[in-house]
Structure 1
């Protein structure tokens, strides 16, 4: 693949547990192309979320190489990683991670302000309008339903127009209707802004919406059903 957005070579992750080191990822090699949608699937404990965090620089590889947008993430310190994510990545978590003392508008505007955007609040308001929360700008997370909180989190991730969107079980805490609405919004943002989308899911129907599905088992890539539209390759 020419100029992949994300490239891993023999990426490994070992964490220290109570009984000693625990191997989470055992040599992952893959490439993700620009604008591709990729679903990470597999049983609980297979390493899906850890792989996503490795791609986003939220976990540091214990071995191997992790590159995103041509940048070697393993060579960056924590401050440099934070700056890189701020300018290039949006992350949506299962548990929202909103700041409870900030309104929906302030939550979405914060990363834009940190990035130096003079129009941070105008863009935040427009993004909240896009996800159907134009009437909830001044509400705090505690005043919003779970589905609404996830919409705020999605707007926050998408507002800076990141090149890469990472989503870790973004519908895991939502009912069926809200989960479907969030995924429609997420794929709509991918379509409209051209971001590369990588998501962790247990939902087969959601995985089928992706260009490519990567299955993990015990920290390794176990198989990769590839649709005809997929533009990437696992090695």
Structure 2
């Protein structure tokens, strides 16, 4: 694979719990090419979300190395990682993580403002238009359905034009109709902005829309990563 945007080499993750150390990921080596879509699948507890958090610098590896957009994440402190995510990554969570006291427009504009964009609200407004929420910009999260809140979260993640888009079960809290609409938007945003997309999902139907699928079990890559089914 040439010019990987993400590169993990012998990455392991262990965390301390009440009962002692818990080994979550074991010797993960994986590369993701620029512009690729990658689906991470496997049973609950297999380490999919933990792997995604490592890719985003939201969790620190216990051993091994992670490079993203040519930079070594393990060499960065918390402030450095926060700036790196701001400039390079968009993250979409299953539970939306919107700021309840902010309108949809303010939620989407916030990362743009933090990045110093002078046209933050104009760009946020255009992004909400793109996800079909042009008439809901002044509504608060509590006034919106789950599907609408996830659309806001998608707009917020994509507005800064990230090089890497990470999605953790983006349809997990939605009904089938809303989830299907979010999937179309997610791939549409990827196509429109050219970002690399890495997505954790329990749905093989959704995973098979990706260029490649990686299956995890017990914290290890179960088999060689394969191309998604045609």
TM-score bracket, shorter-length normalisation: over 0.9
Runs of 5+ unmatched residues, structure 1: 230-235
Looking at structure 2, the residues matched to 77 and 2 of structure 1 have their Cα atoms a distance apart, in angstroms, of: 28
- Compared CA separation, residues 205 and 26, structure 1 to 2 (3 A): same
Q: Deviations over 1:149-201 (max 9, x none)?
A: 00000000000000000000000000000000001000001111110000000
Counterpart position of 2:227 = 226
Q: Please give the residue correspondences for 1:130-209 in structure 2 after superposition, counting only pairs within 5 Å.
A: 130-209=130-209
SS of the residue aligned with 1:165? strand
Name 2:10's counterpart in structure 1.
Answer: 10
* Structure 1 counterpart of 2:213: 213
TM-score (structure 1 length as normaliser): 0.96
Q: SS in structure 2 opposite 1:5?
A: strand
Structure 2 runs not aligned, ≥5 long: none
TM-score by length of 2: 0.98
Q: CA deviation at 1:226?
A: 1.8
Give 1:43 deviation, angstroms: 0.2
Task: State the Cα deviation string for residues 42-94 of structure 1 (Å, max 9, x = none).
Answer: 00000000000000000000000010001000010000000000000000000
Task: Report the 3-state secondary structure (helix = DSSP H, G, I; strand = E; otherwise coil) of the residue aligned with 1:39.
Answer: strand
Q: What's the counterpart of residue 232 of structure 1? A: none
The alignment of Structure 1 onto Structure 2 pairs a total of residues equal to 229
Q: Distance in 2 between matches of 1:56 and 1:5?
A: 12
